[in-house]
Amino acid sequence: MELDASALKSKGFFQQVQKDAYSLRLCTSGGTISTGYLKKAMEIADTYGRGHIHVTTRQQIEIPHIPAANVAAVQQVLTDAKIRTFIGGPRVRTVVACLGAGVCKFGQIETGSLAQAIHDAYFGRELPAKLKIAITGCKNNCAKVEANDIGIRGADRGYLLYFGGCFGRETRVGRPFLPVLKDAGQVLSVLEHTVRFFADHATKGERLGKLIDRMGTEAFQKTLEGALAQAVR
């Protein structure tokens, strides 16, 4: 039976250059993966793939070389294990994060819990274009936050946010529009208002940086200030 490659892509199975094989991308957030999750991924790679796993540049786990004939069986394994797959397209993507203050001696903010909170609130949300978010614990910037639509970086006394970056066919460096924020609550409020601004105003395929240029930085700045006003109420 011929598989619908386009439908499978939205379920995390990417058709390979070898048309009868798929690479399965799993969903993780913040770069932290439990050993139980890894064991299940290993089991799938051993049973249905070729016994290896690829780690993507955005901290996702990918299992290549799954024969088309085994896709349904793998989907059942994923369902039984309650493992979510990656979702691409015009949506909020998985959050990338460094280890942060919980582990790294340079870290100035806790990154893992923030990544999880953002992932839980936004992962997979439909938008006019993709929206990538990254969190990095300090100015060493291991997570390269300015290359993301929204970047969060630990600073001396809080969180410095960058907006409008991207890295791919087009490259843009994200810009800071706010002073350092004092707490994670303010960050989440700014994030919520930014996602709403993006959902309300972006045209199909228009990334956040282009939208800010088109609408004008003043309009965007006003949205951010509104978010801060609400956060401190």
Residue 79: which H helix or E strand, with range? helix 71-81
Residue with smallest beta-carbon separation from ligand SF4: 137
> Near ligand SF4 by CB under 6 A, which window of 23-31, 85-93, 113-121, 139-147?
139-147
Applying CB under 6 A, the span of 120-128, 135-143, 207-215, 220-228 interacting with ligand SF4 comes to: 135-143
Q: What is the nearest approach in angstroms of ligand SF4 to the Cβ of residue 136?
A: 4
Q: How far is the C-alpha of 140 from the C-alpha of 162, rounded, in Å?
A: 15
Which helix H or strand E contains 207, and what residues bound it?
A: none
- Site residues (CB under 6 A) for ligand SF4, limited to 71-130: 98-100, 104, 106-107
The DSSP bridge partners found for residue 188 are none
Exposure of 146 in the CB half-sphere (CA atoms within 13 A): 11
Give the length of the chain.
233
Sole binder of ligand SF4 in the list 140, 203, 221, 230 (CB under 6 A): 140
Q: How many CB atoms lie within 10 A of CB 17?
A: 6
Min dist. Cβ of residue 171 to ligand SF4 (A)? 21
List residues near ligand SF4 by CB under 6 A: 98-100, 104, 106-107, 136-138, 140-142
